[in-house]
Amino acid sequence: MSKKITIAIDGYSSTGKSTVAKQLAKKLGYIYVDTGAMYRAVTLYAMRKIMVTDNKVDEEAILRHLAFISVKFIYDEDLGYGIIHLNNENVEKEIRLMEVSNNVSKVAAIPEVRKMLVKQQHEIGKDGGVVMDGRDIGTVVFPDAELKLFMTASAEKRAERRYAELKEKGEDVNYEDVLKNVEERDHLDSTRETSPLVKADDAIIIDNSNLSKEEQFDKILSLVKEKTEA
Ligand code: DC
């Protein structure tokens, strides 16, 4: 049997990281961890308690509440991966709303929030056989991951994809706002002080602006094979 490795998938928002990560985890029988969902769940908690509004984050209030925030993945047999729960409530749908997307970068920039979630990510992935997607997986969470991918695509292409997804869910959005959100998040995620989004030196860039999902998956699967069968 081939060895179970750690696969770190980082990159910009809406580059299809989670789609690839889920596909890979299913194919390989690995655990899939969507770390963005963890940051989104903490953001949702803060929004519900009015610690976050469109322009401001009450960092101190969030820190006082950290001990009361439980973020967990509960395995769903049918889907084959864990669904995000905030204090035992399934929040998978709610964390994807545009309002959460607009605030998450600010919450994800708080060092204590990151510390709490990274600790949990280490615990989940400590035995390998995991596909984890996020922004700092190959640089901070698992710097020794055997395979690191860095996914990217043009902002316009990503906004188009995100817009189509939100429309399909019935959200009332316009393309310009989605593009603005994508660009703002890129900026905040890449320039924050703690664990900014940067490519690890040994990560392989996957630019999928012009790749079909199938082409991309085949390419990545062959990279996995190189590592597991080496
Ligand atoms: O992958 P996503 O778009 O669901 O992530 C939501 C936000 O969380 C994104 O703006 C960046 C942040 N994030 C992070 O800072 N570190 C991670 N490992 C994952 C996500």
Order of all β-strands in the sheet with 6-11 = 31-34, 130-134, 6-11, 147-152, 204-207
Q: Is the CB of 12 under 6 A from ligand 1?
A: no
Q: What is the pLDDT of residue 189?
A: 86
Give the span between the Cα atoms of 55 and 64, in whole angstroms.
20
What pLDDT, on the 0 to 100 scale, is given for residue 149?
98
Q: Where are the beta strands (DSSP E) in 77-199?
A: 81-86, 89-90, 130-134, 147-152
Q: Is the CB of 104 under 6 A from ligand 1?
A: yes
Query: Six-digit token pair at 28?
Result: 């390989």
Q: Does the Cβ of 108 fall within 6 Å of ligand 1? A: yes
- Does the C-beta of 105 come closer than 6 Å to ligand 1? yes
If you measure from the C-alpha of residue 108 to the centroid of ligand 1, how many angstroms do you get, rounded to a whole number? 7
CA of 225 to the centre of ligand 1 (A): 27
pLDDT in tens, the chain (230 residues): 578 999 999 999 889 899 999 999 999 999 999 999 999 999 999 999 989 987 799 999 999 999 999 999 999 999 989 999 999 999 999 999 989 988 998 999 999 999 999 999 999 999 999 999 999 999 999 999 999 999 999 999 999 999 998 899 898 999 999 999 999 989 988 998 888 899 999 999 999 988 888 999 999 999 999 999 87
What class is the 6-217 domain? alpha beta
The finding on whether 185 has its CB within 6 A of some atom of ligand 1 is yes
Q: What are phi and psi of 8, to 5 degrees?
A: -105, 125
pTM of this structure: 0.92
Determine the residue type at 18: S
* Residue linked to tokens 């590592």: 227
The protein residue whose alpha carbon is closest to atom 18 in ligand 1 is 134
Residue bearing the CA closest to ligand 1, atom 16 = 135
Q: Whose CA is nearest to atom 4 of ligand 1?
A: 36
Q: Are 171 and 26 in contact (CB under 8 A)?
A: no
Q: Coil, helix or strand for 85?
A: strand
> For position 1, what pLDDT does the model report?
54
* Ligand 1 atom index nearest CA of 13: 3
Determine the Cα–Cα distance for residues 131 and 32; give it in Å rounded to an integer: 5
* Model pLDDT, residue 176: 96
Return the best residue to mutate from 9, 35, 39 for the ligand 1 pocket (most ligand atoms within 8 A of CB): 39
Nearest to 4 by CA among 95, 106, 126: 126
Is the distance from CB of 74 to CB of 85 less than 8 angstroms? yes
192 lines ligand 1 (CB under 6 A): no
In the chain, where the domains are located = 6-217
Q: What is the whole-number distance in angstroms between the Cα of residue 170 and the centre of ligand 1? A: 23
C-beta of 114 in contact with ligand 1 (< 6 A): no
Reduced to 3 states (helix: H, G, I; strand: E, B; else coil), residue 69 is coil
User: Is 36 near ligand 1, meaning CB less than 6 Å away?
Assistant: yes
**CA atoms of 176 and 104, how far apart (whole Å):** 19
Please give the full DSSP string across 110-130, using - where no structure is assigned: -HHHHHHHHHHHHHHHTTS-E
